[in-house]
Amino acid sequence: MTSNWSKNILFLLVYMISGLVLVIIIEGLLSGTELIPLNTAIERPISFLRRPVITTLIVFITKLGNASVMLSAATLVSALLAMKKRFYDAALFMSAMILTIVSLTVLKNTFQIARPASPLIETSGWSFPSGHATVATAFFFMLSYTFFKRMKTALGKTILVAGSVTATLLIYFSRLYLGAHWTLDVLAGIALGFWATSFAALIFGVFIESRRSLRNTID
């Protein structure tokens, strides 16, 4: 019970902090000026890194971070969890991903911000927030959370977390490198990914896992 409520408090903090960051970014966008210099400050140094060989690798990375690829991977992970009778984890994983996609779609269609003119890749759809950043954050956050305790050694836990962090950072960087998004799009995507997954985990923790733990204690 204590462990479960500790997790709920942690998820509540993540939910509140990520939500606050998202609100700050949105307010900056609506003001039209406050956060715009951040886009330029990040975009300029990254543009100097562009080389043909690097671009080929980055395009491959950004394709792996596509929302459809991430959602397919999440479906596969959830199916494997269900096969192992870890139904709670499977349901949480997919619920978090679905909430992420829904929240992303709502924000994109609400703000309808045009993408920057990318010199390296064709883009379509609205820019804010970054779908790649949002879905990658959600997927790898849930992946680490779901399997962390299953890792028997400290090395296994380290590889899981370090691999997840590295993968998300590469996907974030790929969107900026290719000029497919503004910096604020990526930052908002990160915040939205954490917001959606922490909210899903919090709901599951309060309304499902806590009751299950209480029932097991009574039994």
Q: How many CB atoms lie within 10 A of CB 187?
A: 23
Predicted confidence at residue 8, as pLDDT, reads 85
**For the segment 12-48, what is each residue's pLDDT rounded down to a tens digit?**
999 999 999 999 888 878 776 555 666 667 777 777 7
Architecture of the domain delimited by 2-207: Up-down Bundle (1.20)
Do 74 and 93 contact (CB within 8 A), yes or no?
yes
**For the segment 167-190, what is each residue's pLDDT rounded down to a tens digit?**
999 999 998 888 888 888 999 999
Q: Could you tell me the two tokens for 182?
A: 């503004």
Predicted confidence at residue 191, as pLDDT, reads 96
Give the whole-angstrom CA distance, residue 169 versus residue 149.
23
**For the segment 33-86, what is each residue's pLDDT rounded down to a tens digit?**
555 666 667 777 777 777 888 888 988 999 888 888 999 999 999 999 999 999
Domain regions of the chain by residue span: 2-207
